[in-house]
Amino acid sequence: MRNSKKYIFNSETLSYEEQIKSRRSRIIKYSCLFLASVAMTLLYVWIYTDVLGQDLPKTARLQRINDGWSAKVDLIDRHLDEYDEALASLQMRDDDIYRSIFGMSPISKEVRNAGFGGVNRYAYLEGADACGHIKGTVVRLDILTKKSYVQSKSFDDVAVVAERSGEMVSCIPKIAPIVPDRSVYRLSSSFGVRKDPITGRRARHQGLDFAIEVGNPVYSTGDGTVVKVQRSRWGYGNNIVVDHGFGYKTRYAHLSSIDVHEGMAVRRGDFLGRTGNTGKSSGPHLHYEVIYMGRHVNPVNYLDLDIPAEEYASMVRQVGARSGSADTDLM
């Protein structure tokens, strides 16, 4: 191993003397200096970052870029909040006003708020979005897009029904189911809680009872389709259900005879059958119900019992003539 020569001045002998150092000692010396410099660098970085709380230049630059993108994502979130609020207002008006007016069932929350199941469509964001901020925004955007699509389709459905709104006038049950001649009938039971004439217990009565002799004609109170014809010794007895569309149905119960069949289209004033005393009945009468959106409502709100009997009979004759109804015994 080669040695390194070095001369130093000796003050006692007043001469330069040769000092020889081995290569190994030099390597050790330089290694110690290198380790010391590394240790000082690490100490500086520790003091700068942990003690003083400062970021390294590259870290600070990346942090500024990250802050910029976070601000943009926050701005998108605020816009999504505004859009979500506006869409919620449209949904409320759609369910409570537009669809209600035309007798359409509200869209269920399950359909409006349906998420995205199955395959993880956001897997591509998991590696680049450690905090989940971007993924949350993307999910919100997708859900809002789906809600908007559902709402758009709902408005399309409402528009189709609105085009048929002229038909609604003739479909809503607006006349009495019998000729309103007070000399031949009386209202024996109203809508609401009453004492059941059979059991004697208090129970809710879902319609109106017209006490009237057996054999009087019963008429459809609005345009629609016969969706149920039932002949029974119990409950409603012989009864008919007519679906008028726009959320309305009517029931005519305890009949002695039925002159229509399921699937048959009827118009307001068409002959359906005759009053009777079948099923759970304490005497001859017609039980009449109005059902709106699946819920029983008071038929009194849909009847005009003050219309002159002659005017009612004339209307029924005209309808019967157009439809070819065989019934002519009106009064």
Q: Under a CB-based contact definition with an 8 Å cutoff, are residues 191 and 301 in contact? A: no
pLDDT tens, residue by residue, 26-83 = 788 778 888 888 777 777 667 766 666 665 666 667 777 777 777 888 888 888 888 8
Same domain as 270, residue 222 = yes
Q: Are residues 90 and 126 in the same domain?
A: yes
On whether both 315 and 197 belong to a single domain, the answer is yes
Side chain identity, residue 311? E
Nearest one of 39, 88, 268 to 172, comparing CA atoms:
268
Structure confidence by residue, pLDDT tens digits, 228-276: 999 999 999 999 999 998 889 999 999 999 999 999 999 999 999 999 9
**Angstrom distance (rounded) from CA 196 to CA 257:** 25
CA atoms within 13 A on the CB side of 37: 6
Give the pLDDT confidence score for residue 264 in this predicted structure.
95
The reply to whether 238 and 189 lie within a common domain is yes
Task: Write the CATH number for 179.
Answer: 2.70.70.10
Same domain, 296 and 200: yes
Domains contained in the chain, number:
3
> Is residue 66, in this structure, part of any structural domain at all?
yes
* 46 and 66 fall within a common domain: no
Please report how many Cα atoms fall inside a 13 Å half-sphere around the Cα of residue 95, on the Cβ side. 13
Structural domain harbouring 112: 62-163
